[in-house]
Amino acid sequence: MNDHKRKLDDVKKYVQGIAQRNDWKLNSNHEMFNDLTEGLMINFNRLGYYNCPCRDSQEDRNLDRDIICPCQYAKPDIEEFGHCYCALYFNKNFDFTQEISMIPERRPLSK
């Protein structure tokens, strides 16, 4: 059981720190940003780790290691498509006037 619950402000600070360290920006759509950070908060409070809010958890930290936010696919997705799979993190030069497209799932199906 996870005794260290996170609040939404905690999660927002967490993702802001990740974005800053990686020279990324966060989704500028307030509603979408809040939905994604709320999903991370729910996952952390349920699982004890920041499981990607856009992917199903195996509810086992070792099996989910590749999809703990920021997932291991975020960097290549941002380099190739301008944003991560969830569209939480973006390349610092991303133009938010353009449409945010769906990108292919990099995670192997066998996970």
Q: Where residue 85 sits, what CATH number does that domain have?
A: 3.90.460.10
Angstrom distance (rounded) from CA 71 to CA 84: 9
Number of H helices, E strands in the chain: 4, 2
Quote the pLDDT of residue 107. 93
- Residue 28 domain flag: yes
Number of domains in the chain: 1
- Residue 1 domain flag: no
Those residues with Cβ within 8 angstroms of residue 98's Cβ, 6 or more apart along the chain or in another chain: none
- Could you tell me the pTM of the whole model? 0.92
The radius of gyration computed from the CA coordinates of the chain, to the nearest angstrom, equals 14
* Confidence band for 1, pLDDT divided at 50, 70 and 90: low
- Residue 54 domain flag: yes
Model pLDDT for residues 75-97, shown as the tens digit of each residue: 999 999 999 999 999 999 999 89
SS3 85: coil
Quote the pLDDT of residue 109. 78
* Confidence band for 4, pLDDT divided at 50, 70 and 90: confident
Model pLDDT for residues 59-74, shown as the tens digit of each residue: 999 999 999 999 999 9
Task: Supply 107's token pair.
Answer: 């995670």
Angstrom distance (rounded) from CA 2 to CA 11: 16
Range of the domain at 54: 8-91
- Residue 108 domain flag: no
For residues 59-68, b (16+ Cβ closer than 10 Å) or e, as one string? eeeeebeebb
- Residue 103 domain flag: no
Model pLDDT for residues 5-24, shown as the tens digit of each residue: 999 999 999 999 999 999 99
